[in-house]
């Protein structure tokens, strides 16, 4: 009997130990919810991981009470002056894949704990290098990577579960909003998009992606669009045209090089390259270039290009439209009307047909359609 009792006791202890060691997946404690949100700013990934406490009937008792003001002794852990953990349970963390600016202050790429020292007029947002500790119980100001001041915003609509979301997105910035109950704490995040994108291009062009002329043109076009690093863009476009294992002379590579030369105010060289490119172009490519010449008020060259396109692709909707525009830009409305009337029955849809009918009327009135 004694042996049986001992065996049962030992079995109970073993079962208890097994349960204590078990790590089954359960919901977060306290009825809170785990969440994450990511946003790409330029090519920079910003990721926030947090636990979402709820208001749960505590309206008007969140800010300044449940969320304490400033820095306090929470009664646990070594920190006697701790900020709010900006969420519940574990640390709220934020990570950046490149260097960023938070409210104008530089922050290196990496992962950080996100804390807030709340005050109704102006709160302090803190990024800490120590993102592993539980909550803010172990907060140490010596581990701060950033402190900035932001102004909380009061709202009419109540947010039941604490939430992070992004707003005001642009090519190189966005605002991260901490929203809970009737307050929002906005945090502006900026990236140097052009710098990070160019650095990425330089790295990727050294990989297998650099063995395609399309990649070099993509990088050069980015510089053109952002009016930056044009000398580097010229080298990239030259690689696309004639680089070993990479280069290919086609309309895309040659026209891209010509565009870079033009942006560098080397117009004569650009024109020479474009003359080489045009015979290699497809009908829509040549038409688009001629339209570009029209925008530049180079109307004689535009007409010559439209005519070349027509000679290669006679009596097509696109080439009839091109000559109509070209003659109109040069003041020959009678000739423009002739080609516009040819294009009318070739219109691919009702929108184009309606547009052509309006342009025919404009030409009949002796006015330019461009």
68-78, pLDDT tens digit by residue?
999 999 989 89
Rounded percentage of the chain residues whose pLDDT exceeds 70: 92
Rounded percentage of the chain residues whose pLDDT exceeds 90: 88
Q: 7 or 366: which carries more pLDDT confidence? A: 366
**What is the chain's mean pLDDT, rounded?**
92
pLDDT at 8 over 60: no
Q: Are 190 and 173 spatial neighbours (Cβ–Cβ below 8 Å)?
A: yes
Residue whose C-alpha is closest to residue 71's, from 84, 54, 59: 84
pLDDT tier for residue 9 given thresholds of 50, 70 and 90: very low
List Cα–Cα distances, 74 to 30, 66, 85, 157, in angstroms: 18, 12, 11, 30
**Model confidence pLDDT, tens digit, residues 81-100:** 999 999 998 899 999 999 99
Q: Give mean pLDDT, residues 230-234.
A: 98
**Model confidence pLDDT, tens digit, residues 181-193:** 999 999 999 999 9
Its pTM stands at 0.80
pLDDT score, position 13:
44
pLDDT score, position 226:
96
Question: 20-34, 164-178, 311-325: which range is least confident on average?
Answer: 20-34
**CA dist., res. 249 & res. 150, Å (int):** 54
Residue whose C-alpha is closest to residue 46's, from 91, 95, 103, 118: 95
pLDDT score, position 135:
86
**CA dist., res. 220 & res. 201, Å (int):** 10
CATH homologous superfamily of 194-322: Tetratricopeptide repeat domain (1.25.40.10)
pLDDT score, position 24:
76
pLDDT score, position 263:
96
Q: What are the structural domain ranges in the chain?
A: 29-191, 194-322
Beta strands (DSSP E) in the chain are: 33-41, 44-52, 93-96, 100-102, 105-107, 110-117, 123-128, 144-150, 153-167, 173-190
pLDDT score, position 259:
96
pLDDT at 17 over 80: no
């Amino acid at each position: 009997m004694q042996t049986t009792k001992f065996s049962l006791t030992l079995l109970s202890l073993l079962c208890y130990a097994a349960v204590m060691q078990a790590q089954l997946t359960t919901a977060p404690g306290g009825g809170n919810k785990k969440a994450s949100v990511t946003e790409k700013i330029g090519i920079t990934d910003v990721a926030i991981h947090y636990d979402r406490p709820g208001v749960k009937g505590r309206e008007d008792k969140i800010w300044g009470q449940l969320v304490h003001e400033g820095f306090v002794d929470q009664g646990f852990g070594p920190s006697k002056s701790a900020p709010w953990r900006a969420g519940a349970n574990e640390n709220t963390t934020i990570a950046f894949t490149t260097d960023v600016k938070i409210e104008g202050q530089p922050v290196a790429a990496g992962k950080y704990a996100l804390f807030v020292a709340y005050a109704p007029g102006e709160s302090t947002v803190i990024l800490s290098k120590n993102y592993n500790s539980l909550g803010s119980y172990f907060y140490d100001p010596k581990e701060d990577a950033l402190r900035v001041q932001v102004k909380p915003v009061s709202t009419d609509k109540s947010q039941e579960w604490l939430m992070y979301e992004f707003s005001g997105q642009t090519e190189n910035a966005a605002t991260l909003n901490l929203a809970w109950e009737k307050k929002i704490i906005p945090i502006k995040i900026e990236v140097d998009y052009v710098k990070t994108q160019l650095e990425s291009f330089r790295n990727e062009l050294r990989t297998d992606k650099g063995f395609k002329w399309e990649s070099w043109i993509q990088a050069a076009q980015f510089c053109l669009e952002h009016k930056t690093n044009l000398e580097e863009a010229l080298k990239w476009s030259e690689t696309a045209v004639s680089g070993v294992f990479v280069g290919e002379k086609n309309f895309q590579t040659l026209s891209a090089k010509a565009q870079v030369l033009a942006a560098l105010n080397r117009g004569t060289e650009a024109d020479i390259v474009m003359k080489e490119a045009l015979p290699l172009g497809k009908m829509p490519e040549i038409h688009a270039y001629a339209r570009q010449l029209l925008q530049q008020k180079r109307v004689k060259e535009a007409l010559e290009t439209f005519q070349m396109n027509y000679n290669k692709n006679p009596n097509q909707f696109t080439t009839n439209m091109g000559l109509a525009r070209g003659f109109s830009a040069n003041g020959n409305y009678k000739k423009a009307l002739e080609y516009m009337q040819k294009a009318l029955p070739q219109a691919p849809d009702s929108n184009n047909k309606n547009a052509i009918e309006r342009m025919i009327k404009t030409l009949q009135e002796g006015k330019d359609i461009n």
